Amino acid sequence: MTALTNHAPVLLIAIPLLGAFAVPLIGKLGRQARNTFVGLIALITAAFAGLLAAHIFGQAGAPSLYVLGGHQGFGIPLPSGLSVPIRIILEVDGMGAFMALITALIMLTGAFFSFSYWKERSGGTLFYSLLMLLTAGIFGMELTGDMFNFFVFLEITSIAACGLIGFRVWLKTSQEAGFKVMALYTLSGLFVLLAVGLLYGQYGGLNIAYLASALTGSTIDIVALGLLLTGLALKAGAVPLHMWAPDAYGEAPAPMSAVLVANSQASLYGLFRILFTLFGLTISVGALGWILIVLALLTIFVGVTMALIQNDIKRLIAYSAVSQIGYMLLGVGVGLAVSAAKPDFGFVAMQGGIFHMLNDAACIGLLFFVSGVIIRATGTRDLNRMGGLAHSMKWTSVLFIIGAFALAGVPPFNGFASKFLIYEASFKLSPFLAVIAILSSILLLAVFVKVFQAAFLGAKQEGIGGEVPMGMMVPMVALALVVIVFGLFPGFFVDKIVTPAANALWYGRDAYIGLVLGGG
């Protein structure tokens, strides 16, 4: 068991990668064999994510190191006594393990939802291959301890995500969205690459811990930070760099929209890792925190107001997903703005922002799955042309209400728990922030009341089948359970998993560096 736990970080990347390349071969044996194989890979990966999380949270979020390809540590000692970190390392702390849990949850439910979703369509084999590749890339971004590998995994997710967004090549809109996302993701990747190059040129290392210990906060460092901030904010879909997100989430097959949200969150994680662990207090965190807060307020407000005027159900949920990225940015931005003085409310804001990542993944995933069910039943994405689904789909309508209320932050669902932490802490910094955040949540409720009224209420329509098959129902119910359980017992989860994750960013910089370079 310990051996498995020790190898869990690399297996989380290697097993989905193995799945990605083996799926096309297994797919030749038939649909049943392929689905069994994909399900097995997804389950094993999720089990390793759970194992890793149990290990990391068992040691209260303290970082763990995994060195690829060697047993004698990863430094090469020089005669001068210095040690140059050259090996490829994976470094997992509370935050990384927390993100791995989110990814595992969404990947597992997404894969199982897809089994029924793709039943009547062809070409599913390559779809699963891309899904596994995307999963491997996301895990890589979350677990790596090396800037260049971060860039490599970022590109892997970009390529796989473009394939998934443009997967339905027979649709013109899908092709267009895929192309748009390809262009913008490439741009984001180049920004990150240039920044990594600037850091490497100055300090001669790519290891995050080594760079963090060497950073001086020079002008070139600030330029690199600006490039990283722009590139990752673009990939996360923060306003004003969100223009790809509605197309991407809207055009991807419904189960993949949820995984794409997990992908955006991984970029957000990268941004937080860079701000807190790589740069820390070498830069003026106050100004930077306020930049994040302004981005966050824009994202929240623009996302919600754009969602309000949509008539296409997938685009509507896509804009709501964009607005939720803003809440995470707001929480962590408030934390960053005050991280020099480290008052209590800053830590609460971090907890809120980080907790909201998990909550958002669960409820936006649920909503995307429900939208897939709705589109499948009615054959349209136009809200004006659907209605009366509650007559034939009682359970689906209940699940939709759970997801929508959770996203809008209505108690007792999980969205309320994390949003409340964010409201409370941002109010301490400036009441104006809390006002915008609460107002937008209320608008979000209005958005989903509109969807509920349009899709589920009204006269029964002809030609609508009954309830969805079991294969789609189980993943949706699983996500709904997460939404409810995290909403009913937020204290337990905040203590057990959110606090170690927030700790890792807020206080964990020295431990992160010390584990690699010794001392600390």
Does position 152 bind another protein by CB under 8 A?
A: no
Whether the CA torsion 24, 29, 35, 40 is positive or negative: it is negative
Task: Rounding to the nearest 10 degrees, give the CA dihedral for residues 306, 484, 109, 258.
Answer: 10
Question: Which positions from 82 through 101 interact with another protein, judged by CB under 8 A?
Answer: 88
The yes or no reply on residue 368 touching another protein (CB under 8 A) is no
Q: Using CB under 8 A, which of the segments 18-26, 293-301, 384-392, 440-448 binds another protein?
A: 18-26
Distance (Å, rounded) from C-alpha 206 to C-alpha 212?
A: 10
Candidate list 57, 66, 112, 416; residue touching another protein; CB under 8 A: 66
Q: Least distance (Å) from another protein to the CB of residue 25?
A: 5
Nearer to another protein, 47 or 291 (CB): 47
Of 88 and 225, nearer to another protein (C-beta) is 88
Q: Does residue 381 touch another protein according to CB under 8 A?
A: no
Give yes or no for residue 159 binding another protein (CB under 8 A).
Answer: no
Calpha distance 244→182 (Å, rounded): 9
Q: Residue 172 interacts with another protein (CB under 8 A)?
A: no
Token pair 């689906």: residue:
396
| For another protein, the closer CB: 24 or 204 | 24
Does 390 bind another protein (CB under 8 A)? Our answer is no
Asked if 189 and 141 count as a contact pair (C-beta separation under 8 A), the reply is no
First vs last C-alpha separation in the chain? 29
The footprint of another protein on this chain (CB under 8 A) covers a number of residues equal to 17
* Residue 67 or 325 having the CB closest to another protein: 67
- Under the binding rule (CB under 8 A), the answer on residue 519 touching another protein is no
Which of 1, 2, 24, 130 forms a contact with another protein (CB under 8 A)? 24
Q: Are 56 and 500 in contact (CB under 8 A)?
A: yes
Selected range binding another protein among 69-77, 104-112, 244-252, 471-479, rule: CB under 8 A: 69-77
Q: Between 88 and 513, whose beta carbon lies closer to another protein? A: 88
Q: Distances in Å between the alpha carbon of 437 and those of 21, 224, 301, 395, 421?
A: 44, 30, 8, 31, 12
**Region 186-225 residues binding another protein, contact defined as CB under 8 A:** none
Using CB under 8 A, pick the residue from 1, 2, 32, 71 that binds another protein: 71
- Measured distance CA(292)–CA(11) in Å, rounded: 34
Phi, psi for residue 86 in degrees, rounded to 5? -115, -20
Rounded CA-CA distance 351/344 in Å is: 11
Determine which residue in the list 5, 18, 484, 511 makes contact with another protein, applying CB under 8 A. 18
Name which of 66 and 400 has its Cβ closer to another protein: 66
Least Å from the CB of residue 159 to another protein: 13
The two tokens of residue 235 are 């990939």
Give min distance, CB of 44 to another protein, in A: 14
If one asks whether residue 22 binds another protein (CB under 8 A), the answer comes out as yes
Give CA separation, 7 vs 69, 70, 151, 299, 388, in Å: 12, 13, 22, 38, 51
Q: How far is the CB of 20 from another protein (least distance, A)?
A: 8
For 76, the 3-state DSSP assignment is: strand
Q: How far apart are CA 63 and CA 511, in angstroms?
A: 7
From start to end of 350-494, where are the E strands? none
Between 65 and 298, whose beta carbon lies closer to another protein? 65
Quick one: which of 42, 46, 53, 67 contacts another protein (CB under 8 A)? 67
Look-up of token digits 């480290």: 342
Q: How far is the CB of 90 from another protein (least distance, A)?
A: 9
H/E segment holding residue 89? strand 89-92
Contact window for another protein (CB under 8 A) among 7-15, 40-48, 331-339, 427-435: 7-15
Output the 3-class SS for 438-480.
HHHHHHHHHHHHHHHHHHCCCCCCCCCCCCCCHHHHHHHHHHH
Q: Pick between residue 15 and residue 363 the one whose CB is nearest to another protein.
A: 15
Gap between the Cα atoms of 98 and 108, Å rounded: 16
Task: Please say which residue, 332 or 516, places its beta carbon nearer to another protein.
Answer: 516
Q: Which stretch binds another protein (CB under 8 A): 17-25, 265-273, 278-286, 431-439?
A: 17-25
Q: Using CA atoms, how far apart are residues 111 and 50, in angstroms rounded to an integer?
A: 17
Binding site for another protein (CB under 8 A): 7, 10-11, 14, 17-18, 21-22, 24-25, 66-71, 88
